[in-house]
């Protein structure tokens, strides 16, 4: 994955780091690529939704984004659906 330029504000830098350093190559790629391409355009609500998703366990996120499992209603929202769509699922 090509490194995206770092955002200027600390919150966006933290989020981008968390998205690209998940602990598994699959999630680093699935989540990191999505976030790197969109983080500069995200508003406060989108950043908050993304932070909440990044707090979820990696195995669950990988399964939901890849389409191996359905997204449960309590986590189903536009950000996670956009990640899944960006992954081609």
In the numeric block, which tokens belong to residue 71? 């997204």
Residue 65 CA to residue 40 CA, distance in Å, equals 21
Q: How far apart are CA 70 and CA 81, in angstroms?
A: 10
Cα–Cα distance, 44 to 30 (Å, whole number): 22
pLDDT band with cut points at 50, 70 and 90 for residue 7: low
Pick the CATH number of 10-86 from 1.10.760.10, 3.30.830.10, 1.10.3330.10, 1.10.150.250: 1.10.150.250
Instruction: Dump pLDDT digits (tens) for 25-67.
Output: 888 998 999 999 999 999 999 999 999 999 999 999 999 999 9
Domain ranges of the chain: 10-86
Q: Closest by alpha carbon to 66, among 54, 58, 74?
A: 58
Nearest CA to 37 among 86, 88, 89, 72? 86
Q: How confident is the model at residue 6 (pLDDT cuts 50, 70, 90)?
A: low
Angle between helices 78-86 and 58-66 (to 10 degrees): 60
């Amino acid at each position: 994955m090509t490194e995206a330029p770092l955002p200027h504000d600390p919150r966006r830098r933290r989020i981008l780091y968390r998205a690209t350093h998940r602990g598994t190559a699959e999630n680093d790629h699935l989540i990191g690529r999505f976030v790197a391409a969109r983080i500069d355009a995200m508003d406060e609500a989108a950043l908050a939704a993304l932070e909440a998703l990044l707090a979820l366990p990696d195995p669950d996120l990988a399964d939901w984004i890849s389409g191996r499992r359905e997204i449960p209603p309590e986590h189903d929202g536009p950000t996670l659906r956009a990640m899944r769509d960006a992954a081609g699922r």
